[in-house]
């Protein structure tokens, strides 16, 4: 107190004024004395790879294990926007002719840029498949016996452009490089908007498959024709099956078998804390135009899932890194260990569950209808791999056929128009002649 009254009158008045202003600020803010802006959790670079480093790690795995892993890079673009995805294929024999006879699994990670933990899980799973890392309490001989029967395609980072935006500082960005949510850009129930629609979170694009990323994923899915599709996200802990766009699950035995498999995963690896059911019936909102609904309804993948592997419900809605990703080493390792084991349970039990479906329903491949455009786009896609860029010869032929077909349609329309015009003129002439008095 002595120092306060030893000040000059002017200094004393200035300090009293500042103190009074601070009191007003406190009252206006409802009694809050914290005048600093809220802090947001940055990316923990001690735990998480950058997108470039992560893909380099995966390329290193492929290079070191060519007898098990191969890697293709697919590129696409439209209207000045380009994108690419890398696809890692695991097969112990690496004979392409055997691919159709094996149980096929397609995994996608990093569809939303802000969900970094999902891409780390992709790296961990590939490390285990290449036997550079190991799962505890699993017999290697039993694991190898399971993996011998599988072909697994892994997309480690579906949304590379969106991920780069996150790494540049937009930690809440989930969309791709031009602001479209890739998990709303598929054709099943596309474009429908709920009352709480937020374009920042759910922009579906200008049309189904308007985005190069979803175009490439669609082609990959149709050409590979997987038995299991698994789309990996974070934000909560959940094991979802179709549907996302309505509050129901599919009818019949396939739905029952999917649910049994998810219940087993929940019991073994989630300690029964994970939510199970349809995405639309469990999350609290409906999602339209999602990849999993397309895979199940259109591609007819027998088992289509969305896994949510982590979420911090205590985080602020604006603290996105903390909300969607573990921030400490212990939780980071726990998530990767538990969910890696969960995936290998899917690898082991998936073929058995599908065998149960097929033995009771005798599902024929003829029942798996897709449009001819989807079929052709799936099998005739441009690829870039370690052997260099190559264009399928058949694709060039199909482009010619499509061109001639369009010309045929155009000429047919023109001929029809000319024919109708001639008939119309003929009728007019007859009417004029009949109107002339004889």
Determine, yes or no, domain membership for 143.
yes
Q: Which of 87-96, 130-139, 241-250, 373-382 has the lowest mean pLDDT?
A: 373-382
- In the set 308, 338, 392, 395, the catalytic residue is 308
Q: What is the pLDDT of residue 362?
A: 45
- Tokens 């200094």, residue located: 11
- Tell me the average pLDDT of the chain: 82
Whether residue 272 is found in the same domain as residue 333: yes
Determine, yes or no, domain membership for 432.
no
Determine, yes or no, domain membership for 426.
no
Number of domains in the chain: 2
Whether residue 95 is found in the same domain as residue 15: no
pLDDT digits (tens, 9 = 90+) for 304-348: 999 999 999 999 989 999 999 999 999 999 999 999 999 999 999
Q: What is the pLDDT of residue 254?
A: 83
Q: What is the pLDDT of residue 22?
A: 38
Q: How confident is the model at residue 127 (pLDDT cuts 50, 70, 90)?
A: very high
Distance CA 278, CA 294 (A): 14
Q: What is the pLDDT of residue 331?
A: 98
Q: How confident is the model at residue 213 (pLDDT cuts 50, 70, 90)?
A: very high
* Structure tokens given for 254: 């396939």
Q: How many residues does this entry show for the chain?
A: 438
Does the pLDDT at position 427 exceed 90? no
> Would residue 308 show up in a list of annotated catalytic residues for this protein?
yes
Q: What is the pLDDT of residue 167?
A: 97
DSSP for 282-329?
HSSS---S-HHHHHHHTS--SEEEEEEEE--TTS-TT-HHHHHS--SH
Whether residue 85 is found in the same domain as residue 23: no
Q: How confident is the model at residue 139 (pLDDT cuts 50, 70, 90)?
A: confident
Exposure of 179 in the CB half-sphere (CA atoms within 13 A): 5
Whether residue 247 is found in the same domain as residue 169: yes
Determine phi and psi for 231, rounding to 5 degrees: -105, 120
Determine, yes or no, domain membership for 366.
yes
Whether residue 30 is found in the same domain as residue 151: no
Distance CA 135, CA 264 (A): 18
Determine, yes or no, domain membership for 437.
no
To the nearest whole percent, how much of the chain has pLDDT over 70?
Answer: 74
Beta-carbon contacts of residue 438 (< 8 Å; ≥ 6 apart): none
Distance CA 98, CA 153 (A): 14
pLDDT digits (tens, 9 = 90+) for 75-90: 999 999 999 999 999 9
Whether residue 12 is found in the same domain as residue 149: no
Q: What is the pLDDT of residue 7?
A: 41
| pTM of the predicted structure, to 2 decimals | 0.76
Query: Which domain range does residue 333 map to?
Result: 51-388
- Tokens 């159709």, residue located: 100
Whether residue 176 is found in the same domain as residue 248: yes
Determine, yes or no, domain membership for 212.
yes
Whether residue 29 is found in the same domain as residue 56: no
Whether residue 144 is found in the same domain as residue 290: yes
Determine, yes or no, domain membership for 19.
yes
Q: How confident is the model at residue 357 (pLDDT cuts 50, 70, 90)?
A: low
Q: What is the pLDDT of residue 28?
A: 34
* Contact of 331 with 204, CB cutoff 8 Å: no
CATH number for position 164 = 3.40.630.10
Q: Which of 355, 373, 388 is where one domain is finished?
A: 388
Determine, yes or no, domain membership for 372.
yes
pLDDT digits (tens, 9 = 90+) for 10-31: 444 444 444 444 343 333 333 3
Better-predicted residue by pLDDT, 406 or 388: 406
Q: What is the pLDDT of residue 32?
A: 37
To the nearest whole percent, how much of the chain has pLDDT over 90?
Answer: 61
Q: What is the pLDDT of residue 13?
A: 40
Whether residue 22 is found in the same domain as residue 67: no
Q: What is the pLDDT of residue 393?
A: 38
Whether residue 227 is found in the same domain as residue 288: yes
Whether residue 206 is found in the same domain as residue 59: yes
Does the pLDDT at position 298 exceed 80? yes
195, 417, 192: which is closest to 289 by C-alpha?
Answer: 192
Q: Which of 117-121, 263-267, 379-383 has the lowest mean pLDDT?
A: 379-383
């Amino acid at each position: 107190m002595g120092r306060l009254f030893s000040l000059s009158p002017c200094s004393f008045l200035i300090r009293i004024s500042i103190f009074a202003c601070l009191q007003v600020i406190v009252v206006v803010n409802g009694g809050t004395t914290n005048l600093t802006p809220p802090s947001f959790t940055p990316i923990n670079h001690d735990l998480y790879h950058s997108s470039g480093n992560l893909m380099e790690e995966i390329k290193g795995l492929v290079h070191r294990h060519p007898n098990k892993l191969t890697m293709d890079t697919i590129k696409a673009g439209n209207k000045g926007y380009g994108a690419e995805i890398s696809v890692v294929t695991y097969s112990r024999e690496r004979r392409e002719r055997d691919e159709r006879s094996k149980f096929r699994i397609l995994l996608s990670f990093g569809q939303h840029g802000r969900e970094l933990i999902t891409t780390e899980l992709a790296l961990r799973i590939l490390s285990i498949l290449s036997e550079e890392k190991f799962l505890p309490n699993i017999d290697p001989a039993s694991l190898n016996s399971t993996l011998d029967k599988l072909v697994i395609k892994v997309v480690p980072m579906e949304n590379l452009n969106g991920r780069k935006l996150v790494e540049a500082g937009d930690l809440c960005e989930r969309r791709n490089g031009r602001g479209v949510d890739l998990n709303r850009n598929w054709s099943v129930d596309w474009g429908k908007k709920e009352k709480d629609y937020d374009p920042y979170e759910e922009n579906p694009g200008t049309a189904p498959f308007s985005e190069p990323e979803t175009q490439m994923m669609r082609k990959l899915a149709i050409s590979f024709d997987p038995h299991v599709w698994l789309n990996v996200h974070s934000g909560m802990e959940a094991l979802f099956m179709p549907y996302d766009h309505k509050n129901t699950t599919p009818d019949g035995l396939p739905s029952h078998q999917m649910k049994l498999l998810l219940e087993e995963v929940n019991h073994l690896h989630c300690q029964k804390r994970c939510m199970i059911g349809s995405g639309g019936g469990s999350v609290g909102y409906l999602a339209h135009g999602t990849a999993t609904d397309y895979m199940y309804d259109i591609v007819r993948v027998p088992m289509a899932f969305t896994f949510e592997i982590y979420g911090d419900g205590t985080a602020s809605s604006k603290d996105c890194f903390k909300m969607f990703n573990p921030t400490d080493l212990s939780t980071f390792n726990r998530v990767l260990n538990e969910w890696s084991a969960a995936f290998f349970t899917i690898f082991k039990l998936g073929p058995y569950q599908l065998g149960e479906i097929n033995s009771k329903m005798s599902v024929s491949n003829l029942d798996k209808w897709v449009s001819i455009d989807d079929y052709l786009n799936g099998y005739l896609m441009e690829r870039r791999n370690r052997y260099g860029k190559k264009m399928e010869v058949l694709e060039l032929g199909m482009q010619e056929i499509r061109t001639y077909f369009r010309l045929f349609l155009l000429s047919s329309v023109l001929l029809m128009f000319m024919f109708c015009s001639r008939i119309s003129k003929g009728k007019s002439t007859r009417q004029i002649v009949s109107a002339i008095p004889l």
